[in-house]
Amino acid sequence: MVAGIPLSTVNVLAVLPAEEDRRSLRGIAASTDWEIGFAAGIAEARRALQDASFGVVLSEPSVEDGHWEDLLNELRKMTNPPPLIVAFRLADERFWAEVLNRGGYDVLLKPLETREVLRIVDQAWQQWKSKLGLQAVAS
């Protein structure tokens, strides 16, 4: 359990300002045990990350008050930072390589495709849980 949240529940913070994207993610997660929190921008995401334990963060490349790199920098300040997945309609190999090289976890193409979202978010969640386990053993 982390901050009162069981590690069997996938906790996703989605920094998605568009209601269409939020609706799509809710639909994808409807048949899962995911808990999803939403934020419109970096400042709102920062507050959400302080108040709850998220194991995965999914974000647009650009939001009202910053970019995915700004969000990644916020995550790096955390003790157990969750992996960042960037969802982008115009993602190409160059953008994907940039996200990975700067420390992001992966890129999802929009519109969000159910199988791909489930696969990538689950892998990111498993990686985060695994790191928590290793940190607990090392402590």
Distance CA(99)–CA(109), nearest Å, equals: 13
* Dihedral sign from CA coordinates of 107, 113, 115, 121: positive
- Note the pLDDT tens digit of each residue in 92-136: 999 999 999 999 999 999 999 999 999 999 999 999 999 887 554
Residues 6+ apart with CB under 8 A from 7: 1, 55, 129, 132
Q: What is the pTM of this model?
A: 0.90
User: What domains are there in the chain, each with its CATH number?
Assistant: 11-131 (3.40.50.2300)
